[in-house]
Homo-oligomer: A and B are copies of this chain.
């Protein structure tokens, strides 16, 4: 809880809800007849509506990107470090929009919301969505807000995939794509870790084939395991080592087969348990599938440059040295394809010890590069208005 709102915070914010009644045709062949998206906005849309920025969230993210919902909030939104007055995404200059994606569990239509066809939660009947479906739904949100063209679409990790997809799917509606700690497709190892997470959830007897809502329960242990695996892959070996080392819970070993011995074990338990209480298991399954499926080159015989041919925006790509989930090589794969497709691209590999999580951490070099790029967009936007 902040005693006072910091001067570089967007302050107290209130989510809004957008309702869509026109059917959304999905890549899986199904459609959603109607749906709602919860979103937040910070800053002011300028007169010519040219300063709007879309923030796309990653696996476990949501619409609450910056600021506080009340003075009782323990923490601000998940990317507060980068969004606010004077921050890289400067709300004095940009109108920032963030939403909870379709299939999410924080207010937008998803597995834990009511299926109008049955009056019960969708559960496993919620259609499998893709990054492309998300971008289509985000475009409708843009329409409803009167935004014809984003000054920038920005995201880290799975969020970066959405920014990339925007550049391909709506080349005339995006001026800059900022793709941070992301990849143009998952590796085999990425998919393998996702499958461990899914299997942990679906193996939990409380999963009930995804209809756990009707049993007044949820697969807490499976979700906890899924998060534990995920969490390990978000951190670097070195940063875990620095934080926890081989520190013990007690002075000496207990030598009990079922005892907690090391600090890292109780940290992972804590993270896993907390997450399992706040996140929907079906959404977790869905989000990992969205990650697995993303591969814009697939429709072009694996040729990513061909997939990017129609893109018109400028690209900002950033990776982090110790990120082994989406390593710098994956960003370079994208950068090389962008160069081959003769697109404008800025690329920076940032030296940071935090692994994949580095994209959320305001290390000075990262903030400087990010700010400089956003500043250029703001200057151009001012000129255009």
CA distance A285 to B262 in the complex (A): 15
Alpha-carbon separation in the docked complex, A272 to B124 (Å)? 25
**Contact between A268 and B187, CB atoms less than 8 A apart:** no
Q: Does A270 sit at the interface, judged by CB under 8 A?
A: no
Question: Would you give the shortest CB distance from A217 to chain B, in whole angstroms?
Answer: 13
Q: A residues 241-292 with Cβ under 8 Å of B?
A: 241, 243-246, 253, 255-258, 261-262, 264-265, 268-269, 272, 282, 285-286, 289, 292
Known: A29-B255, A221-B203, A225-B203. A246 touches B191 (CB 8 A): yes
B residues less than 8 Å from A255 (CB atoms)? 27-29, 127-128
Q: How far is the CA of A285 from the CA of B256 in the complex (A)?
A: 11
Instruction: Specify which chain B residues have a CB less than 8 angstroms from the CB of A200 in the assembled complex.
Output: 200, 225
Interface size on A, residues (CB 8 A): 60
> Is A360 close to B, CB under 8 A?
no
Please judge, given known A-B contacts A188-B246, A191-B246, whether A225 and B202 are in contact too, CB under 8 Å. no
Q: What is the 8 Å Cβ interface bit string for chain A, positions 176-199, against chain B (1 contact, 0 not)?
A: 000000000111110111011001
Q: Given the complex of chains A and B, what is the CA–CA distance between A195 and B263 in angstroms?
A: 11
A237 interfacial contact with B, CB 8 Å: yes
Contact with B along A224-235 (1 / 0, CB 8 A): 110011001001
Residue of B128, B237, B292 near A256 (CB, 8 A) is B128
* B268 lies within 8 A of A196 (CB): yes
The docked-state distance in angstroms from the alpha carbon of A309 to that of B132 is 62
Answer whether residue A349 sits at the interface, using C-beta atoms and an 8 A cutoff: no
For the complex, what is the distance from the CA of A48 to the CA of B286, rounded to whole Å?
Answer: 66
- Residues on B with beta carbons closer than 8 Å to the beta carbon of A84: none
Determine if A268 and B192 form an interchain contact, defined as CB atoms under 8 angstroms apart: yes
Known: A225-B196, A228-B195. A237 touches B203 (CB 8 A): no
Contact B261 A193 (CB under 8 A): no
State in angstroms the CA–CA spacing of A187 and B245 once bound together.
7
Q: Is the CB of B186 within 8 A of A246?
A: yes
Contact B257–A124 (Cβ < 8 Å)? yes
Chain B CB within 8 A of A15 CB:
no
CB of B258 within 8 A of CB of A210, answer yes
Whether B189 pairs with A232 at a CB distance below 8 angstroms is yes
Enumerate chain A interface residues (CB-CB to B < 8 A).
27-29, 124, 126-128, 185-189, 191-193, 195-196, 199-200, 202-205, 209-210, 221-222, 224-225, 228-229, 232, 235, 237, 240-241, 243-246, 253, 255-258, 261-262, 264-265, 268-269, 272, 282, 285-286, 289, 292-293, 295, 324
- What 4 A-B pairs have minimum CB-CB distances, sorted nearest first? A28-B255, A188-B240, A203-B221, A189-B237
